[in-house]
Copies of this chain bind each other. A is one copy, B any other.
């Protein structure tokens, strides 16, 4: 019998694609095994368990997202960078709903440290260099921006904005305007 040539990385990649197709919560070991035409038990040579698979998926997605954002803000600053960052973030979430869900998993602190999670706040911090903010305001602003981006795409996806006719796209652009003006006039402590 020919071998399927499984590796942890190939499984993680396939799981990511599967997540985007059927939703993160529907990524199962069985479904993944079916995709490769092997038995469920065969996967357990490559991954520890189902949770391990999901964590690998989360780490993959965090790295991909960090790359996208990093590319988007390269060579930009100020509002230009803010908009590029935010759009890259939102676009990734829309194009890869399953992968994006994965990024919201609570990871073990040491796994999170190894992953690209840290790179995200670094990049947000880099973004803020175009504004006149210093610690601890900078950290507060990083948290506020991150929260708003995540909250927006999360609520947009859950349908929370569909109850009102105002276009979600237009609201998003105005939100970015608002954040830009907030960063330029950050209230004194």
Instruction: Give the B-binding residues of A (Cβ under 8 A).
Output: 25, 104-107, 109, 112-113, 117-118, 121, 135-137, 139-141, 143-144, 146-152, 154-155, 157-164, 166, 168, 170-171, 174-175, 177-178, 180-182, 185-187, 189
Complex A-B: 12 CB contacts under 8 Å? A25-B25, A106-B157, A112-B159, A121-B164, A135-B166, A139-B164, A140-B166, A147-B175, A149-B151, A150-B151, A151-B151, A174-B189
User: Smallest Cβ distance from A155 to chain B, in angstroms?
Assistant: 6
When A117-B163, A151-B152, A159-B106 are in contact, do A140 and B187 touch as well, CB less than 8 Å? no
Output the nearest chain B residue to A166 by Cβ-Cβ distance: B139
Output the nearest chain B residue to A25 by Cβ-Cβ distance: B25
- Is B178 in contact with A181, judged by CB distance below 8 angstroms? no
In the bound assembly, the distance between CA atoms of A151 and B142 in angstroms comes to 12
- Is B121 in contact with A143, judged by CB distance below 8 angstroms? no
- Is B104 in contact with A140, judged by CB distance below 8 angstroms? no
User: Smallest Cβ distance from A4 to chain B, in angstroms?
Assistant: 30
Q: A136-B170, A154-B154 are in contact. List 17 more A-B contacts (CB 8 A).
A: A25-B25, A106-B157, A106-B158, A107-B158, A109-B159, A109-B163, A136-B174, A140-B166, A140-B171, A143-B155, A144-B171, A146-B151, A146-B155, A148-B148, A148-B151, A149-B151, A181-B187
In the bound assembly, the distance between CA atoms of A148 and B137 in angstroms comes to 17
Output the nearest chain B residue to A176 by Cβ-Cβ distance: B144
- Is B118 in contact with A163, judged by CB distance below 8 angstroms? yes
Chain B residues within 8 Å of A109, by CB: 159, 162-163
A160 touches which of B25, B137, B146, B148 (Cβ 8 Å): B146
